[in-house]
């Protein structure tokens, strides 16, 4: 594949306002497969790293994503943030659709992928069961007067945040991993959540699902007309509840420290 072929393919994916170039270095690198120079808008590919044109296109699209972010003035602390990976996989999906990138796997890779998929399904089923049992455990602890947090942290060695994630995952209708479940549950309202679930079910990556939730939030956010909407009030309620919970934990901690110092504020 020539530089011109690669450039032509990349231009099919995205109508860039800024011209860019593609250069195959003819070299092999143990550090990177390619890189992008934002000041000169140049994509360099270490083509000796690849065994196929398909693998070469994967990296070319990766570097195109850097160019797109640079063109759009995206500034981020990390070069490969959620926005980057979401854009990258959106471009890969389009590249597959128009036939310049293929996701056909070799026989050995397909076999290993199926084996891992079967394991993932078993893990998801067990995690859903675990989430439901954790909800039952919570109720039992409240009825019996046991501290649920202590049972989690000490007996089960599970953090409270992880327990919350598992309980949320247990009641999702989709059979998704805990990582995908967390991405779906990051949605702030029912509309966003449904959009995230549909994306996950259609084969989107975790990063794409996260971005869909964020993008939908911007699109569905009500205009500021001086009235509070139910969704905005619910978001504010959750923020306040979280703040109260954090303050209560801090207050307990301060009381314990005061008592240990022999100070009684009553």
Whether 216 has a pLDDT exceeding 50, the answer reads no
Question: Do residues 206 and 179 lie in contact, with contact meaning Cβ atoms separated by under 8 Å?
Answer: yes
Identify the top-confidence range among 20-29, 182-191, 197-206, 237-246: 20-29
CATH number for 3-98: choose from 3.30.2010.10, 3.40.630.10, 3.40.50.150, 1.10.10.350.
3.30.2010.10
- Strand pairing category for 42-45 and 21-24: parallel
169 exposure class (CB count in 10 Å sphere: 0-12, 13-18, 19+) = buried
Whether 226 has a pLDDT exceeding 50, the answer reads no
d(CA 15, CA 255): 61
Average pLDDT, the chain: 86
> 252 pLDDT band (50/70/90 cuts)?
confident
Give start and end residues of each alpha helix (H) in 14-106. Answer: 53-71, 82-98
> 265 pLDDT band (50/70/90 cuts)?
low
CB-facing half-sphere around the CA of 247: CA atoms within 13 A: 6
Which region, left, alpha or beta, applies to residue 229 given φ > 0 means left and ψ of -120 to 50 means alpha? beta
Q: What is the mean pLDDT of residues 123-146?
A: 95
Q: How far are the Cα atoms of 140, 146, 159, 164, 251 from residue 152, in angstroms, in the given order?
A: 13, 11, 7, 11, 22
Classify residue 49 by its DSSP letter.
G
232 exposure class (CB count in 10 Å sphere: 0-12, 13-18, 19+) = middle
CB-facing half-sphere around the CA of 174: CA atoms within 13 A: 21
Which region, left, alpha or beta, applies to residue 52 given φ > 0 means left and ψ of -120 to 50 means alpha? beta
Whether 103 has a pLDDT exceeding 70, the answer reads yes
Q: How far apart are the first and last CA of the chain?
A: 80
For residue 154, what are its two tokens? 């000490």
d(CA 254, CA 24): 62
Question: Do residues 184 and 216 lie in contact, with contact meaning Cβ atoms separated by under 8 Å?
Answer: no
Whether 227 has a pLDDT exceeding 70, the answer reads no
């Amino acid at each position: 594949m020539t530089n011109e072929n690669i450039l032509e393919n990349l231009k099919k994916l995205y109508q860039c306002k800024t011209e860019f170039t593609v250069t195959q270095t003819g070299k092999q690198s143990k550090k990177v497969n390619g890189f992008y120079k934002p000041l000169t808008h140049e994509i360099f590919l270490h083509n000796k790293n690849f065994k196929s044109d398909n693998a070469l296109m994967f990296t070319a699209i990766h570097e195109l994503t850097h160019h797109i972010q640079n063109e759009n003035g995206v500034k981020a602390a990390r070069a490969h943030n959620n926005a980057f990976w979401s854009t990258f996989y959106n471009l890969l999906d389009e590249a597959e659709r128009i036939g310049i990138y293929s996701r056909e796997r070799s026989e050995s890779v397909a076999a290993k992928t199926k084996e891992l998929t079967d394991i993932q399904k078993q893990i998801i089923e067990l995690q859903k069961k675990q989430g439901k049992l954790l909800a039952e455990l919570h109720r039992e602890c409240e009825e019996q007067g046991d501290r649920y947090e202590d049972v989690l942290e000490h007996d089960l060695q599970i953090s409270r945040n992880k327990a919350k994630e598992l309980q949320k995952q247990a009641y999702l209708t989709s059979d998704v991993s805990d990582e995908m479940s967390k991405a779906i549950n990051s949605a702030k309202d029912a509309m966003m959540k449904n959009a995230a679930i549909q994306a996950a079910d259609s084969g989107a990556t975790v990063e794409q699902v996260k971005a869909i939730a964020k993008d939908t939030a911007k699109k569905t956010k009500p205009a500021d007309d001086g009235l509070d909407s139910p969704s905005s009030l619910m978001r504010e309620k959750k923020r306040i509840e979280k703040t109260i919970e954090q303050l209560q934990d801090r207050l307990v901690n301060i009381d314990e420290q005061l008592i240990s110092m022999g100070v009684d504020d009553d």
